[in-house]
A = this chain, B = another copy of it.
Amino acid sequence: MGMVGGGPGAFIGAIHRHAAALDGEIELVCGAFSADPTSSQSFGESLHLDSDRCYPNYATMFAEEAKRPASERMQFVTIVTPNYLHFDAARLAFEHGFHVFCEKPATMSTREALELAQAKEASDCHYALAHTYTGYPMIQEARQLVAAGGLGRIVKVVVEYTQGWLASSEDQSTKQASWRLDPLKAGVSCCMADIGVHAANLAEYVSGTTITELCSDVGTVVPDRQLDDDGTVLLRFKNGARGALLASQVHIGDENNLRLRVIGDYRALEWSQLEPNTLWIKSRNEATQMRRAGVGVVCPQAAGNMRTPAGHPEGYIEAFANLYRGFVSQIRSSSAHQKDTHNAPQLPGIEAAVRGMAFIENVIAAGQSDKKWVPNAVPTGGGVLQ
């Protein structure tokens, strides 16, 4: 694995490295960690990389790695830069024949996402988007339960992702905050692009249906910001279900309060990222069930994505590692016809990339519209997507 971005002070790059390392199946062999070549070099060396594989930029990295013998080059790249570099780095990786594991949001715009989808199509490469929360075992359990009809017909989906880390104007001077609030680096949105898109993805991922219309109240709570830091969105789903999505970075004191409720006409489920090993199942006349990761019977997709079978708490890094393991499994199974032995999660891929960018743009546009309902239009990119 090679890495683009994730240099000194970058929070998410370190998480990716931990997650990739966890299972002993992925080795970080090269990187272009920083816009500053010196910093990239020294940072790579601090990670015990070979000096000559600490590259000054990703273009050089792709070119140089591609020259190496197949058995000695990096097999895929993970892109953990600020948003504005995702598209170019991913496209270039595809051109050099490298698989791509990319941070969300996939690109800066739906247009870029569609272009990226075409670049992927033209290559023979895999692509996965870091919708980390799909990697949690109990999200897998939830998804399987819904797919098996365990909730009946889905009638309502409520998803929330509230944080407090941008609640104060003082917060925005950090490295993490400054680029996320800069339209040139983040795109049309801060809150929706950073966390709203996770929530929308999770809602669709678990419910098995898609958002077709939305009504959006998105805005900026803390003065003097160029991008949104808070938003609430009313949702309509393809299957007729209603819903709501709450995303905020100004709920002061909140951690990563991602919470999903899917309500069917037979049963309902609830899940919260703050206690990710628990899935609640409610029904009309029976006791509420608390299903726990690692206890009793969970589906193979949940059980296969746990490392501590006896009921020890697993967390965010493990969820991330499940995506990496799934990605490795994808690459191997396509290249060597190996079978996935871990019931890897269904990975968000290029379709999720396009859907996510369209959602972000649609929510921001709808927020400026006087019309209540606007379609969540998702272009199909000339046949790339169904």
Contact = CB atoms under 8 A, between A and B. Distances in A.
Given A156-B230, A254-B282, A313 B274 contact: yes
A284 B168 contact: yes
Interface stretch (A86-94, A117-125, A256-264, A343-351): A256-264
A60 interface: no
A337 B22 CA distance: 28
Interface string A119-145: 000000000000000000000000000
A178 interface: no
Q: How many residues of A sit at the interface, in one of the four size bands?
A: 35 or more
A315 B290 CA distance: 19
A95 to B, nearest CB: 29
A331 interface: no
Chain multiplicity (copies): 4
A292 B255 contact: yes
Contact of A268 (B164, B276, B370): B164
A317 B308 contact: yes
Contacts of A238: none
B221 A232 contact: no
A292 B17 CA distance: 24
Interface string A134-173: 0000000000000000000001101000011101100000
Contact of A263 (B18, B47, B250, B286): B250
Interface of A: 11, 14-15, 17-18, 21-25, 28, 47-48, 155-156, 158, 163-165, 167-168, 215, 217, 219, 221-222, 230, 232, 234, 242, 244, 246, 248, 250-256, 261, 263-268, 273-276, 281-292, 294-297, 307-318, 369-373
6 contacts: A11-B310, A21-B21, A222-B265, A234-B234, A256-B312, A308-B316
